[in-house]
């Protein structure tokens, strides 16, 4: 019974690593989505190397990172990276892991 827990929605028992309840479908808030990308690293890269797409390469968006490199002389990627850093700051860890894994 150590690998069991109670559902936050209906109270039935389920496996402790279940992201949702199989009975009622309620999401289990204590189970974080598996992700290997750090939100803090993405924020720092967006602020420091955002003009050349450092954060995009880190997040696996190589095509967008190349576009940032190609247009870095216009400083537009720097402005966009600053806005993206603000978005990453306001995003929850679960939403970040779901989107960028």
Q: Give me the pLDDT at residue 83, please.
A: 97
Q: Give me the pLDDT at residue 13, please.
A: 86
Domain extents in the chain: 1-31, 39-100
Q: Give me the pLDDT at residue 48, please.
A: 97
Q: What sign does the dihedral 41-43-44-48 (CA atoms) show?
A: positive
Q: Give me the pLDDT at residue 33, please.
A: 54
pLDDT by residue for the chain (101 residues), tens only, comes to 578 888 878 888 888 888 888 888 888 776 555 568 999 999 999 999 999 999 999 999 999 999 999 999 999 999 999 999 999 999 998 889 889 88
pTM as predicted: 0.68
């Amino acid at each position: 019974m150590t690998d069991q827990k109670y559902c936050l929605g209906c109270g039935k028992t389920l496996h402790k690593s279940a992201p949702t309840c199989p009975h009622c479908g309620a999401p289990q808030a204590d189970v974080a989505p598996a992700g290997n990308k750090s939100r803090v690293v993405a924020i720092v890269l967006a602020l420091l190397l955002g003009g050349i797409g450092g954060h995009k390469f880190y997040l696996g968006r190589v095509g967008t990172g190349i576009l940032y490199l190609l247009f870095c002389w216009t400083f537009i990627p720097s402005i966009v990276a600053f806005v993206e850093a603000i978005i990453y700051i306001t995003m929850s860890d679960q939403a970040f892991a779901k989107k960028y894994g």
